[in-house]
Amino acid sequence: MRILITSDNHLGYKESDPVLLDDSYETFEEILKVAQREKVDLILQGGDLFHDNRPSRNCLNRAIGLLRSYCVGSERSRLRSNRTLNSHDQNITISIPVVAIHGNHDDPSGINMVSPLDILQSSGLVNYIGKYSLMERIDVFPLLLEKEYRVAIYGLGHIKDRRLYRMFCEGKVVFHKPEDYDSWYNILVLHQNRVPREKEHLSLDFIDDFFDLVIYGHEHESRVTKEERLILQPGSTVRTSLCEGERHDKYVYILRIEEKCILEHVKLRSVRPLVLGVLRIEGKCNAEEIVAGKIKEMIEEGKKKETLFCKETTTVNVDTKKFKCERDTSNKTLPSSFYM
């Protein structure tokens, strides 16, 4: 099974800017092209697909157009699931299902608490998970997927960090596991602060250790760490601020669950490069000439970054035999207790 992982695409960012207006859309299209080229079974999106929870008509139109162009095809996805996915809809042929949670930018609001992701789900283009209306207790049920291997995805859309911190402390966030949970590759995708900020972040200490992969949306710098489990911070795909965390290269990730779990990170070519520098000028000198020279040097550095493209792999030491699906011709459904 192949899963493309992305987050913080911020569609619609600076769309009224005459220079930056197309950046978020062009990079999102590149991501969808990578998904097609790599023949992925699923796109998993970690929140902030949109930059605003009330995207403009132009933004919604472009998002829908891109998803229809690259996720609708002639061959239907063969993923089996415990829930009805858009790929099961007989009125539209979904070749690459998209599973997404909301972030802090595209969270539910207004009458009936609607997110832009609700609109995409109603249009049959996205499978929206991780939305919870009751804040007294959060019961997280997995989306169970089967193909050659078995994957369980637990979604938790953005919740105010302090509130979520308190709920974890009080034991009010419950992950409901299938009885044979250790025979599934368990993924948690959420959209919260990862960097410690007193009670304004979600510590790994709160997260159950049965998860094989934890995906943190929200933080914009791409990072991968292997501790007791694999921790993935996909980062953003468009630069939304001029800061140190945004200067690094942008990636999408492909998780291959095969005989070994392999995580590939694909560098995005369409992202506008950002070069930051520090210039100290002391004493009497031609400051204007020095600054101009430094700017020229940084522009040349930025031009070199534009042409970068590579794919690197990280092998994850996980025994995937236990996730493997035996061929079953009985057309049985997955456990009814996990229908939502």
* Residues with catalytic roles: 105
Q: Locate all alpha helices (DSSP H) within the chain, ordered by sequence.
A: 23-37, 57-71, 116-122, 161-169, 287-306
Residue 246 burial (C-beta neighbours within 10 Å; 0-12, 13-18, 19+)? middle
How does DSSP assign 189-251, residue by residue? EEES--S--TTSS--GGGS-TT-SEEEEES--S-EEEESSSEEEE---SS--SSSGGGSS--E
CB contact set of 314 (below 8 Å; sequence gap of 6+): 224, 226, 262, 263, 264, 265
Say how far apart CA 7 and CA 249 lie, in whole Å.
Answer: 14
The one-letter amino acid code at 126 reads V
The whole-angstrom distance between residue 191's C-alpha and the CA centroid of its chain comes to 9
**DSSP label at residue 47:** S
- Write down the residue that tokens 């939305």 correspond to: 131
Token pair belonging to 297:
């040097």
Q: What type of residue sits at position 167?
A: M
d(CA 159, CA 227): 25
Locus of tokens 């609109």: 119
Structural tokens at position 293 = 């020279």
Task: Write the single-letter amino acid at 173.
Answer: V
